[in-house]
Structure 1
Amino acid sequence: MAERISDAEHAVMEVLWDDSPLTAQDVAERVASAREWSANTVKTLLGRLLAKNVIAHEADGRRYLYRPLVAREDYVEGESRRLIDRLFGGKLTPLVAHLAERDALSAQDISEIEALLKALKS
């Protein structure tokens, strides 16, 4: 995915990743529960996502059905890589060290990281 998506566009993507295809009205109803957006705002965001080629739409009578073209996992991977590259020189260890130094890791986080490392070693 070449072009970044904004936080607002990401909220629309989350709705489409959870369930698609959806009409603009369906998306607006699902996003509106968390944000104070009008249907027109959601339609504008859908238009931007179409222009960025991260969603597609097909006609269904007089309305359009929208669906993601980018998988959530691929998006998360790209954003994670971009963050690590930009802030930590592409290395994961400084990110974990940064979180640990600021007591940002709970005991559960540490246990999960230990389990993940153990699984990766075997």
Structure 2
Amino acid sequence: MQLQEITRAQEDILKVIWEIGEGAISDVLHQLPEPKPAYTTVATVIKVLERKGYLSHKTFGKTNVYYPVISKKEYSRNVLRATVTGLFNGSVNQLVSHFVKDKDVDLSELEAIKNMLEEEIKNQKK
């Protein structure tokens, strides 16, 4: 499923909703760091996220309670896929070599990646 791109502010709100599971605008606002945006700003961002298909809501009296429609895992997968396609010509090899050659990955992370890759190679050979 192709997700619409979202802004950093929209992503920040989405992260809060993933963290709390569901909530009213005031619940989201309460979880945001200082300086907190205006209530109306949060409401607008939530409405945009709902229009883009990231959130939905249930109504209780006069209060809307928002919840994620897209999981964090699905969102992460989509963003990473778009990054690999857009910046690395669809090559996971180019993505990995970018981090390794720029020394952005320390030895313990390299070892963990190596072990993960060896395990996946074993699994695919079965």
Please give the TM-score of this superposition, normalised by the length of structure 2: 0.90
SS at match of 2:85: helix
Quote how far apart the aligned CAs of 1:2 are. Answer: 3.0
**Paired AA for residue 74 in structure 1:** E
In structure 2, the partner of 1:70 is 70
Which sections of structure 1, spanning at least 5 residues, go unmatched?
A: none
After superposition, the Cα gap between the structure-2 partners of 1:34 and 1:105, relative to the gap in structure 1 and judged at 3 Å, is: farther
CA deviations on 1:77-98 (whole Å, 9 max, x unpaired) are 0000000001111111111111
RMSD: 1.2
In structure 2, the partner of 1:4 is 5
CA deviations on 1:89-111 (whole Å, 9 max, x unpaired) are 11111111111111111112101
Q: Give, in whole Å, the separation in 1 of the partners of 2:22 and 2:50.
A: 14
The aligned runs of 1:108-119 (5 Å cut-off) are 108-119=108-119
In structure 1, the partner of 2:85 is 85
After superposition, the Cα gap between the structure-2 partners of 1:34 and 1:106, relative to the gap in structure 1 and judged at 3 Å, is: farther
User: Which portions of structure 1, spanning 4 or more consecutive aligned residues, are displaced by more than 3 angstroms?
Assistant: none
Which sections of structure 2, spanning at least 5 residues, go unmatched?
A: none
**Paired AA for residue 19 in structure 1:** I
Quote how far apart the aligned CAs of 1:35 are. Answer: 4.7
SS at match of 1:18: helix
The aligned runs of 1:1-122 (5 Å cut-off) are 1-31=2-32, 33=33, 35-122=35-122
What is the aligned length?
121
